[in-house]
């Protein structure tokens, strides 16, 4: 079912995400520079797996620091040679594939590490980055993580016993499920000169599942929710006055939409609409059309890659 308007909200995420994004928003408002919102997003990317997957505070703090460092390293690779970026992200994708194949609860961790690293690497290119910028960004992201770690969680995630799939096991092949879509999506972004390449990469990886039915359902929901959200965002954005408050309001809603709704369709619709309103308020309507293109292209890459993986799996293990 594509439409499932349960209307239920996961209220626990509202204070958690609000606290995580606070340092970056304060710094951005104080300096008048939206680039510091990236620190808030990196903090959220570190906190989501902590609440939903593993519940380890020290690992969460280390994860936040690593994400900032890796994003900066990938940013430098993009400036020098794009294929260094391609190789590095592919290696990360393979490692994350091993992680969430070892335990399904770690899918949140693997996906958010990839998202944060790619998003950070691309968005750091929006302004000149110095060592002081990186240190400040890391401090703001870490501050948001630390503030959330001090919040007592009522339903704390139980510890996870990681057990990697042995090489002779038939599911070993699924350790590499993120490899092909990563290679194809990054290559497509480079050779087609696509703007906002992180959206293509996200879309290709977000629909990767071991079952084709799940892939097709996720792809349809993303395309439909994205289309409706973009149209609504354009309609609303064109009538809103140009104000510095609009980007902040949209950014907060985007972060909340990452976990606030139980229904994915509603979450992606709100996120798509707010991204477009954010861009239109900054004077860029082209981003709306780029977003739809990237969602469709990335989704098709994910679909084809998953089909190829399942086909290979059936040929190797299910042939009689």
Read off the pLDDT band of 318 (50, 70, 90): low
Residue 159 has pLDDT above 70, yes or no: no
Rounded Cα–Cα distance for residues 249 and 253 (Å): 6
Higher pLDDT, 209 or 96: 96
pLDDT of residue 175: 86
Average pLDDT over residues 135-151: 92
pLDDT digits (tens, 9 = 90+) for 214-249: 777 777 888 888 888 888 888 888 888 888 889 999
* SS3 state at 36: helix
Rounded Cα–Cα distance for residues 257 and 270 (Å): 7
Q: 245 exposed, middle or buried (CB, 10 Å; 0-12, 13-18, 19+)?
A: exposed
Give, for 132, the enclosing helix (H) or strand (E): helix 131-149
**Backbone φ/ψ region at 153: left (φ over 0), alpha (ψ -120 to 50), beta:** beta
Average pLDDT over residues 26-52: 91
Question: For all residues of the chain together, what is the average pLDDT?
Answer: 84
Query: Could you tell me the end-to-end alpha-carbon distance of the chain, in angstroms, rounded to an integer?
Result: 34
pLDDT digits (tens, 9 = 90+) for 120-140: 888 887 667 778 888 999 999
Read off the pLDDT band of 22 (50, 70, 90): very high
Rounded Cα–Cα distance for residues 287 and 293 (Å): 10
pLDDT digits (tens, 9 = 90+) for 257-295: 999 888 888 888 998 889 888 888 877 677 767 877 887
Three-class SS of 234-280: HHHHCCCCCCCHHHHHHHHHHHHHCCCECCHHHHHHHHHHHHHHHHH
Higher pLDDT, 57 or 15: 15
Contacts of 225 (CB under 8 A, 6+ apart): 264, 265, 266, 268, 269, 272
Residue 5 has pLDDT above 60, yes or no: no
- What are the sequence ranges of the domains in the chain? 8-154, 177-320
Long-range contacts of 100-106 (CB under 8 A, 24+ apart): 101/164, 101/165, 101/171, 101/174, 101/175, 101/177, 102/162, 102/163, 102/164, 102/165, 103/160, 103/161, 103/162, 103/163, 105/53, 105/54, 105/157, 105/160, 106/49, 106/53, 106/54, 106/160, 106/162
pTM for the whole structure: 0.87
Average pLDDT over residues 23-32: 94
pLDDT digits (tens, 9 = 90+) for 202-220: 888 887 776 667 777 777 8
Residue 296 has pLDDT above 70, yes or no: yes
């Amino acid at each position: 079912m594509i439409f499932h308007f349960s209307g239920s909200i996961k209220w626990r995420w509202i204070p958690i995400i609000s606290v995580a994004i606070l340092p970056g928003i304060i710094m951005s408002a104080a300096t008048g520079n939206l680039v510091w919102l990236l620190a808030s997003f990196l903090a959220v990317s570190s906190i989501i797996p902590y609440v939903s997957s593993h519940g380890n505070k020290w690992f969460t703090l280390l994860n936040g620091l690593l994400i900032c460092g890796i994003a900066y390293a990938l940013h430098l690779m993009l400036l020098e040679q794009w294929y260094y970026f391609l190789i590095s992200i592919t290696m990360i994708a393979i490692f994350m594939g091993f992680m969430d194949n070892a335990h399904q609860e770690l899918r949140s961790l693997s996906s958010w590490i990839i998202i944060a690293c790619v998003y950070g690497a691309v968005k750091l290119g929006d302004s000149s980055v110095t060592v002081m910028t990186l240190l400040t960004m890391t401090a703001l992201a870490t501050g948001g993580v630390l503030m959330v770690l001090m919040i007592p969680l009522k339903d704390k995630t139980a510890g996870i016993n990681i057990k990697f799939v042995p090489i002779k096991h038939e599911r070993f092949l699924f350790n590499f499920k993120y490899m092909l879509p990563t290679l194809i999506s990054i290559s497509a972004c480079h050779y087609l000169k696509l703007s906002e390449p992180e959206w293509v990469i996200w879309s290709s990886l977000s629909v990767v599942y071991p079952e084709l039915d799940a892939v097709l359902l996720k792809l349809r929901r993303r395309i439909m929710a994205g289309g409706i959200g973009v149209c609504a965002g354009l309609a609303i954005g064109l009538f809103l006055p140009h104000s510095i408050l609009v980007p902040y309001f949209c950014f907060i809603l985007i972060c909340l939409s990452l976990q606030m709704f139980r229904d994915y369709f509603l979450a992606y619709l709100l996120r798509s609409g707010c991204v477009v309103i954010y861009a239109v308020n900054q004077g860029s309507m082209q981003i709306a059309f780029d977003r739809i293109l990237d969602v469709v292209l990335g989704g098709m890459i994910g679909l084809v890659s998953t089909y190829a993986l399942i086909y290979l799996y059936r040929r190797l293990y299910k042939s009689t």
